[in-house]
Structure 1
Amino acid sequence: MRARTQLTPDTSSPRAARRFVAQALVDWNGKEARDDAVLLVDELVTNAVRHARTPLEVTLEIGQAEVRVEVTDASPLIPQPRDREAADDSGRGLHIVAALADAWGVRPQPEGKAVWLRLAADRTRVEG
């Protein structure tokens, strides 16, 4: 199954993205992955709102064994995890994504970029 939502670059977008993902995954078989997906979409959308400041799209691809989340925006700037020592109260989002997602990356697009992540339903397979 695939679901999408369009969001504006404002402070209500992370909350809207969390609700979208939680609702789409309500019947999905991986509760821990579902919780992680809600947290991680918040991180990706927050980054897009803060740094891209363009309309964005959240795409969710749901399979039996995994879920894929993708946040697309119109900024060509490729996000990089910040040095943890330099990050005060912010700047940890991509570190959280890297720690919890089974895989993640950035795909440049003609009109911006897509930041994606993948989570397995069975979170016991994930080792740091």
Structure 2
Amino acid sequence: MARHITERWLKSADRPDRIADAVLIVSELVTNVVRHTHDSCLLTLTVQGGQLDIAVADHSEELPDLHARVGAGDHGGFGMEIVGRLGAQVRVVPSLAGKTVHVLLWLEAG
């Protein structure tokens, strides 16, 4: 559902650039919440100055290891590396009620 919402929102906001990349990032972030917290999350999409801020908030206070190395034979753990290879900037904002993972993506490819 999050992928579909992201694609429709970007099309309706007349921001067709990098929709596939944005959908992939949303999929990774929401999947991480479902996989690691078994709880709900809040997806917020904001466009400003040619950048898309993808924010996913959850209720877990456990912070992700954004620099973890995945070894051969491991299952999972590649998502944040893929996000980085798309040229996105990632930051985690902790709060008393959990955390929000923000991914900043330039909408114009290149």
TM-score by length of 2: 0.88
Residue by residue, what CA displacement relative to the aligned partner does 1:35-75 show, whole Å, maximum 9, x if unpaired?
A: 11100000000001010222210000023511110000000
Q: Within 5 Å, which residues of 2 pair with 1:43-58? A: 43-58=28-43
**Residues 35 and 64 of structure 1: is their aligned pair in 2 closer, same or farther, counting only changes over 3 Å?**
farther
Please name the residue that 1:84 is paired with: 70
Q: CA deviation at 1:30?
A: 4.4
Q: Within 5 Å, which residues of 2 pair with 1:22-61? A: 22-27=7-12, 28-31=14-17, 33-61=18-46
What is the aligned residue count? 108
Residue by residue, what CA displacement relative to the aligned partner does 1:21-42 show, whole Å, maximum 9, x if unpaired?
A: 00100143342x2211100000
Unpaired runs of 5+ in structure 2? none
1:39 and 1:88 map into 2 onto residues whose CA distance is 20
Unpaired runs of 5+ in structure 1? 1-15
Please name the residue that 1:21 is paired with: 6
Please name the residue that 1:12 is paired with: none
Tell me if structure 2 keeps the 8 A contact 1:73–1:113. yes
AA of the residue aligned to 1:51 = H
Q: CA deviation at 1:84?
A: 1.8
Please name the residue that 1:4 is paired with: none
Q: CA deviation at 1:102?
A: 2.8
* Percentage of matched positions with identical amino acids: 32
TM-score by length of 1: 0.76
Please name the residue that 2:109 is paired with: 123
Match of 1:68 among 53, 69, 73: 53
**Residues 90 and 40 of structure 1: is their aligned pair in 2 closer, same or farther, counting only changes over 3 Å?**
same
Query: Which has the higher mean CA deviation after the structures are superposed, 50-59 or 98-107?
Result: 98-107
CA RMSD of aligned residues (A): 1.7
**Residues 115 and 101 of structure 1: is their aligned pair in 2 closer, same or farther, counting only changes over 3 Å?**
farther
